[in-house]
Amino acid sequence: MEILVCIKRVPDTSENEINVNRDGTDIERDDLVYSVNEWDNYAVEEAIQIRDRVCGSVTVVTVGDEETEEVVRREMAMGADKGVLLSDEVFKNSDGRGIAGIIKAEVKKGKYDLILTGAQADDGAGQVGGMLAAMLDWPYASLATLIEVTDDKKIKVGREIEGGNLEMLEIDLPCVLSIQTGINEPRYVGIRGIRKTASAEIPVHGAGDLGLSPESVGKSGSKIKQLDYFVPDAGEGAEILEGSVDEIAEKLVELLKARGGIK
């Protein structure tokens, strides 16, 4: 099975608060470190496991600048066979639809049976997979936490829905799936593994290579634009409730009701 996994390089924000820069145009990036989007890492692991079960190859693709290449190498160190970097000045500031369009052009250059994306990334939109599937007219399912390859025509997919339940689907190939965390346990990639892929060639495809007109991508092709960034009001620590136990409990019940804390 030929599998394409779409990955994204994102700032690792898990353990540190994020600040907005002075003019509010972006987050403060000076002290940030980057890594592959967590969901994408699960997607690559899943692709590798499927490949190891049924043969084929895994290609990772990403849209970004030269620095983005590092995450492609990381996922290749994990076990992906090939990597492709889609990079062009005109791709900058593409919205989700733009990114999906760029990847679609790359998909058209190859022949894939299955495309995996992470369920979401740093922007929390979770849109590229669904858009890409619609552009390709391939079936799509989001939030997959189980994939079983039935034969070379179809697969069985479990979608994680509310309440921890699993929606079981049968999907025709080729298709696009977005992968939810917890589908597997991604293997560890150490510095040694990454260094071993240092010499692997990663082709870079630009708008020209993909036959994309500059207007269809980047800022000009975007229907959605970011105006500014701001930090939502967090307040300085907790508001400590004062009074008798009875009064405090009373007040807390009100607050909880207002915030949907009492079902």
Q: Which of residues 75-114 bind other proteins (CB under 8 A)?
A: 78-79, 96-97, 100
Nearer to other proteins, 32 or 202 (CB): 32
Cα–Cα distance, 38 to 120 (Å, whole number)? 9
Contact residue for other proteins among 56, 118, 129, 221 (CB under 8 A) = 129
Binding mask 167-206 for other proteins (x = CB under 8 A): xxxxxx--x--x------xxxxxxxxx-xx----------
Cα–Cα distance, 69 to 138 (Å, whole number)? 28
Report the interhelical angle of 69-78 vs 38-54 (nearest 10°).
Answer: 40
**Tokens 């290579």 identify what position?**
209
Token digits of residue 71: 């995450």
Cα–Cα distance, 208 to 87 (Å, whole number)? 11
Nearer to other proteins, 65 or 250 (CB): 250
**Tokens 């980057």 identify what position?**
34
Scanning 54-62, 85-93, 213-221, 242-250 for contacts with other proteins by CB under 8 A, the matching segment is 242-250
Window 15 to 54, contacts with other proteins (CB under 8 A): 15-18, 20, 27, 31, 33, 35
Q: What's at 72, amino acid-wise? A: V
Q: In the complex, what is the shortest distance from the CB of residue 139 to other proteins, in angstroms, rounded to a whole number? A: 3
Q: In the complex, what is the shortest distance from the CB of residue 219 to other proteins, in angstroms, rounded to a whole number? A: 12
**Tokens 């009701």 identify what position?**
257
Nearer to other proteins, 206 or 222 (CB): 222
Nearer to other proteins, 177 or 204 (CB): 177
| Interaction between residue 55 and other proteins (CB under 8 A) | no
Contact residue for other proteins among 7, 71, 85, 131 (CB under 8 A) = 131
Contacts of 247 (CB under 8 A, 6+ apart): none
Scanning 14-22, 50-58, 59-67, 81-89 for contacts with other proteins by CB under 8 A, the matching segment is 14-22
Nearer to other proteins, 203 or 247 (CB): 247
Binding mask 135-154 for other proteins (x = CB under 8 A): x--xxxxxx-----------
Would you say 70 and 9 are in contact if contact means Cβ atoms under 8 Å apart?
yes
How many other C-beta atoms can be found within 10 angstroms of the C-beta atom of residue 169? 17
Contact residue for other proteins among 37, 87, 127, 197 (CB under 8 A) = 127
- Residues written for the chain: 263
Contacts of 130 (CB under 8 A, 6+ apart): 140, 142, 176, 178
